[in-house]
Structure 1
Amino acid sequence: MDARAEIRIAMQPAQRRRSATTTGLSPAATCVDLGTLAQRAHALEVLDGRLRRLLPEAIARECRLADIRNGRLVFLANSSTWAGRLRLHEATLLAEARSAFDGRIERFAVKVAHRPPVPPEPTWQKPLSAGTARHLRTAAQSIADPELKALYLRLASLANQ
């Protein structure tokens, strides 16, 4: 199956599974098929990559496809400046999205939403040596405070033996 067919199938409206007797909150799994939801997310990711390749690199870094709903292509931009720059490429993006959806995309929208900062990768720390562990244990023996002594011993236990 080619990418266009995969996107079209995954982006079809999901059938909701609701019973008429339910009231109040329901588990997500009873409302939407999680497999269908995962397919839709994957299709949006594929289409996002396809559309952002058409944009200048700076705009592509600051904007991303958010959704396609009711014939509207929705992008998120990190600021109003990037949203304005993205709107200059509206015709190109709509043409590509229409080719992926057999012309069913009618409108284009950009919303400003700041992305949360990406947490830095955890830094790799050099493990404690066996000599350091010995010194920590020796120091722990001379400490009267039981909590501090326990902390030193716990730290010493993290060393490579």
Structure 2
Amino acid sequence: MQLPPQQSRRARGPQSVADCGGLGGLFTKAAALETLDQQLRQRLLPTLAEQVRLGGVHGERIVFVASSAAWASRLRMEQAAILRLARILGLSARVLIVKVAPLPARPPGPAKRLVLSRAAAHHLRAAASSLTDPELRARFLALAELAES
């Protein structure tokens, strides 16, 4: 698996937006890192794989993030296998770096749709009948239609 080439920067610090390239390159790199993360973690024990994430690939260094020092130690014990697999996947990996930080929360599932009661619909219709603004009245009536029947 080849990651997109990184552009070298002469100086550290802020860059102009024009020098950063398009978002397409960023999305390509993020997708490649996500795929590599899945490929590397699928070879780990499931309990360990849940507690670590690939943080990045920087030349010959692979950076992982672990949720605690204990999980970081367990991941370091798998260093030889991870580096071997990374080389099989086409990376020139020689060093495994493990950092300890809270893992990002998983994105929440879709929100439950709230249903209005009949009483709420009745009050919305009553409020709509007293409104003079036709657009606002239409919105109140549309909300009232969402109520449970």
The Cα of 1:101 is off from its aligned counterpart by 2.1
Give the conservation status (yes or no) of the 8 Å contact 2:60–2:95.
Answer: yes
Residue in structure 1 matching 2:30, options 41, 47, 72: 41
Match of 1:106 in 2: 94
Can you list the C-alpha shifts for 1:45-98, whole angstroms capped at 9, x where unaligned?
111110001011111111011111021010011111111111111111100001
Residue in structure 1 matching 2:68, options 54, 73, 79: 79
After superposition, the Cα gap between the structure-2 partners of 1:86 and 1:155, relative to the gap in structure 1 and judged at 3 Å, is farther
Match of 2:145 in 1: 160
Match of 1:3 in 2: none
Residue in structure 2 matching 1:26, options 16, 29, 37: 16
TM-score by length of structure 2 reads 0.72
After superposition, the Cα gap between the structure-2 partners of 1:160 and 1:30, relative to the gap in structure 1 and judged at 3 Å, is same
Match of 1:62 in 2: 51
Give the conservation status (yes or no) of the 8 Å contact 1:83–1:112.
Answer: yes
Q: Which ranges in structure 2 are unaligned for 5 or more consecutive residues?
A: 128-138
Q: Distance in 1 between matches of 2:57 and 2:66?
A: 15
Secondary structure class of the residue paired with 1:68: strand
Secondary structure class of the residue paired with 1:12: coil
Match of 2:6 in 1: 13
The answer as to 2:100 corresponding to 1:115 is no
Q: Which ranges in structure 1 are unaligned for 5 or more consecutive residues?
A: 1-6, 19-23, 141-153
TM-score by length of structure 1 reads 0.67
Secondary structure class of the residue paired with 1:110: strand
After superposition, the Cα gap between the structure-2 partners of 1:134 and 1:127, relative to the gap in structure 1 and judged at 3 Å, is closer
Amino acid at match of 1:87: R
Amino acid at match of 1:96: L
Aligned residues: 132
Give the conservation status (yes or no) of the 8 Å contact 1:127–1:160.
Answer: no
Amino acid at match of 2:33: L
Secondary structure class of the residue paired with 2:98: strand
